[in-house]
Chain A
């Protein structure tokens, strides 16, 4: 394996594995969020169950590491690719249809995803898992706390959802963010298989279809939760 991770394919391999990890996390996160659609109290129970348990913290740590590697290698690869491309650009380049827009803009999409993630972290993670770990539990804004959770803001996920997603512009930003993730994932999912060599001429079109279906289910699930939260809370809880 000497030198494998320094090679172009090795670096892509890291992108693929860390990307796979992030997709699995998103799948889990979406399933967890779906509980909110059926029962906000049930959702809070999941929050409480995960809370700041060691396995949730360990999982978050590993996930964060995967995320850092994914971004670090994306940056390295993008810099190398720009250099490989050279400084001269074509006066005009019309690619025939068939090249996905997202495949050419994965880095930009990734950057949008990161900005959205930062906002998401400030709105939820900082007020929940981080607050619990740091022992600086705050309070949910007036009128949003779930009955029985008035003094447990760090596990009152439903209240935070209700608070933030009752505002139409935050909902809109989330939907735009989801669209960026959809585009990123739609290319990333089948690419993951291609990069580790787990595809061939028969499977490339199949994987692309699975990619679109899977990505739509995941991101559709997230969007559903956001919309349900909006309509449940927009008229004042």
Chain B
């Protein structure tokens, strides 16, 4: 078996009983962490340690642990999903850290995502935006022939790039305006670019933007921090498309 270089780390972790309680940082030491461990495995080791000491484990979100569900959501050393580009927290590995390092772990901090406990936040606002219009409401019927609806490759690619959004919330969590525009634009784009979704594009853009505003997300000022921290590299070009779709939908009325 390959020999591991174990890391001894100091963790500053945000602890908060519930949404209304006063939160604080607590410091923990973890020892001999393999550089091959994932960040969430390191969190599991910390929690085992806390349980053995009779303390409350740290609450954090996770599910698939392979970068597809969008559940993991930590702000690590000042960056959403930690110190690496185009990855989710569950894809972050301990080789990105060095022995003796202090790691600060915080929850998403944005008005739209209230803290449930410790590092866990309530992201149901994104679900509500999806419920407002992020779907195609036509009866699909039988499966048509693959060639029956020609779609330009460029459109298909762009729709696919937008559809890569996993709704993790890193965009709004990073944005200084607490804006959810990257998320909403990705969802609007992925459907508006394809014929099946095109039919309801105007209605969808209006409904989703109205819900986003109603839920109190901020106004985009084109800083572009969202696209830099998006684990799926969703581009702010989709925000331009959302603006276009929304404007067109309103002009038609």
Contacts and interface: CB of A to CB of B under 8 A. Distances in A.
Interface residues of B, number: 52
Given A7-B246, A9-B209, A200-B237, A84 B253 contact: no
A99 B223 contact: yes
A187 to B, nearest CB: 7
Nearest to A193: B240
Interface string B204-235: 00000110110011111111110011000001
Contacts of A204: 235-237, 240
Contacts of A93: 75, 78-79, 174
Interface in B235-253: 235-237, 239-247, 250-251, 253
B179 A81 contact: yes
Contacts of A4: 250
B219 A12 contact: yes
Given A8-B219, A83-B216, A191-B222, A95 B237 contact: no
B120 to A, nearest CB: 14
Contact of A104 (B158, B176, B253): B176
B219 A81 contact: yes
B110 interface: yes
Contacts of B225: 95, 99
A7 B242 CA distance: 13
Contacts of A100: 223-224
A91 B32 CA distance: 26
Nearest to A89: B109
A84 B237 contact: no
Given A9-B246, A81-B221, A90 B209 contact: no
A92 B220 contact: no
Interface in A1-54: 1-4, 7-13
A104 B177 CA distance: 9
A105 to B, nearest CB: 10
Contacts of B118: none
Contact of A84 (B75, B112, B246): B112
B228 A84 contact: no
Contacts of B73: none
Contacts, number: 148
Interface in B14-63: 25
Contacts of A3: 210
Interface in A173-198: 187, 190-191, 193-198
A103 interface: yes
A98 B79 contact: no
B177 A85 contact: yes
Contacts of B244: 196-198
Contact of B106 (A86, A91, A94, A194): A91
Interface string A105-138: 0100000000000000000000000000000000
B223 A104 contact: yes
A151 interface: no
Contacts of A95: 79, 174, 225, 228-229
A7 B243 contact: no
A9 B247 CA distance: 8
A5 to B, nearest CB: 9
Contact of B220 (A12, A90, A199): A12
A98 B228 contact: yes
B77 interface: yes
Interface string B107-149: 0011110010000000000000000000000000000000000
Given A9-B246, A94-B77, A99 B228 contact: yes
Contact of A94 (B12, B78, B251, B253): B78
B222 A81 contact: no
A86 B241 CA distance: 27
A190 B222 CA distance: 9
A80 interface: yes
B104 interface: yes
B241 A96 contact: no
9 contacts: A3-B210, A12-B243, A13-B243, A85-B175, A95-B225, A103-B222, A197-B246, A197-B247, A204-B235
Interface of B: 12, 25, 75, 77-79, 85, 104, 106, 109-112, 115, 158, 174-179, 209-210, 212-213, 216-225, 228-229, 235-237, 239-247, 250-251, 253
The 7 closest A-B pairs by CB, nearest first: A197-B244, A84-B218, A86-B111, A84-B178, A81-B177, A201-B237, A94-B78
